[in-house]
A and B are shown apart, each in its own frame.
Chain A
Amino acid sequence: SYVLTQPPSVSVALGQTARITCGEDNIGGTGVHWYQQKPGQAPVLVLFDDSDRPSGIPERFSGSNSGNKATLTISRVEAGDEADYYCQVWDSVSDHVIFGGGTKLTVL
């Protein structure tokens, strides 16, 4: 069963690039999905299947997944990107949804 490890917090200067990781053995073998959650709001899907963006998500959001780590990359970070970010996978062995513990992105 997967245990998705995310750093509790990441800080980035305005306009720079933020990278948020999601780690698990052999996570590269499954699709990883990413959600953004701002305070008091429901989560929003920002990437699915490692790197695909839903309609309306800016191209500044990109992703990669290989080996033991998936990464959400946010380029040219804006103040509005400050939020909690969660990774999620489907464990096809146990048929369960698994969420990571979340990462708080702070924009300096």
Chain B
Amino acid sequence: QITLKESGPTLVKPTQTLTLTCTFSGFSLITSGMGVGWIRQPPGKALDWVALVYWNDVKRYNPSLKSRLTITKDTSKNQVVLTMTNMDPVDTATYYCAHSPHYFESVDPAHYFDFWGQGTLVTVSS
């Protein structure tokens, strides 16, 4: 059974750096095709993709946030870490991590999210 859980600060000040950790179980990020993504959702607003890291350490970022983001994986700890610099109140959101599978018939990444963490609300305020 695949589970994911986000952890990190609930409150950060403007200009600070946010570090969020996704700890997962039930799969390994050394398995071909697998990925873990971060998606955020400001209160009352739509889902907004943030970043994705794949088993082969390929990383993809939302172009509007790319200059502020770093995503890394630690396969020994089954964790994915997202850092976002220069936080602003508009970054206030629930941040989710989610598992991205490979296609059943191949090891090609499927590029959707089939298991999600519960999310963690991050508030940016002084």
Q: Do A and B actually bind?
A: yes
Binding site for B on A (CB under 8 A): 31, 33, 35, 37, 42-45, 48-49, 54, 86, 88, 90, 94-102
Selected from B47, B112, B118, the residue in CB contact (under 8 A) with A45 is B112
On whether the beta carbons of B111 and A97 are closer than 8 Å, the reply is yes
| Cβ 8 A contact of B60, one of A33, A45, A96 | A96
Q: Does B116 contact A (CB under 8 A)?
A: yes
Cβ–Cβ < 8 Å partners of A98 in chain B: 49
Q: Which of B49, B112, B113, B116 has the most CB of A within 10 A?
A: B112
Residues of B within 8 Å of A45, CB to CB, are 112-114
Main secondary structure of the interface of B (DSSP, over half): loop
Interface centre among B39, B96, B111 (most CB of A within 10 A): B111
What B residues does A96 contact at CB under 8 A? 49, 60, 62-63
Interchain CA distance A96-B66 in the complex, whole Å: 11
Interface: B8 (CB within 8 A): no
